[in-house]
Amino acid sequence: MSIIYDALKRVEKTVDKSVPVAETAKAKSTNKTRPILLFIFVIVLGLFAGNMLFSLLTRPKAKPMPSLASPAVTPVNKIDIPIQTEKPAPPLERIRTTEPNLILSGVYFQGKLGYALINNKILKTEDTILGARVESISLEKVILEFEGRKITLINAAR
């Protein structure tokens, strides 16, 4: 035990008795963090200044607003009005002379009312599809009227 006692005495002689050991360790740690904090502050300040300088250099120049008291009016000597010489094109339905592409997928009845599935659309009598009007629906065929002509679609599922 005398060895431990002698070591403690030597340590007490080297440490100043006026300052406790905990305070000396705290002072040493704060001395190490100050340069790091200062370095981080300088970096952040430099980034902020660089961003401000970049935004000032790349900002487009603002054009002055014209005053409301004296609007800028340019005199007009000649007015060019285009004259339309060609007739407008007729509507698309009048141009179509060929029959529309119609595909009958199926026919079904609900009571006496018949329905036809044409081009993935469910149609009944008097409905129109691509300009063709459904006139009659039977189990074997569907008759449509297109520009005065009759179109007959045969039920392939039958």
Do residues 118 and 102 lie in contact, with contact meaning Cβ atoms separated by under 8 Å? yes
In a domain, 85, yes or no: no
Burial readout 56-78 (b: 16 or more C-beta within 10 A, e: otherwise): eeeeeeeeeeeeeeeeeeeeeee
In a domain, 124, yes or no: yes
| Residues 10-67: tens digit of each pLDDT | 777 776 555 555 555 555 555 677 888 889 999 999 999 998 888 888 877 666 666 6
- Note the pTM of the prediction, 2 decimals: 0.39
Q: How confident is the model at residue 155 (pLDDT cuts 50, 70, 90)?
A: confident
Neighbouring C-alpha atoms within 13 Å toward the C-beta of 144 = 25
Total number of domains in the chain: 2
In a domain, 86, yes or no: no
In a domain, 18, yes or no: yes
In a domain, 66, yes or no: no
Q: What's the confidence (pLDDT) of residue 121?
A: 92
In a domain, 71, yes or no: no
In a domain, 93, yes or no: no
In a domain, 131, yes or no: yes
Q: What's the confidence (pLDDT) of residue 66?
A: 62
pLDDT reading at 81 higher than 80: no
The CATH number linked to 149 is 2.30.30.830
pLDDT reading at 133 higher than 90: yes
Note down the domain range covering 31.
2-55
pLDDT reading at 8 higher than 60: yes
Three-state SS for 149? strand
Q: What is the mean pLDDT of the chain?
A: 78
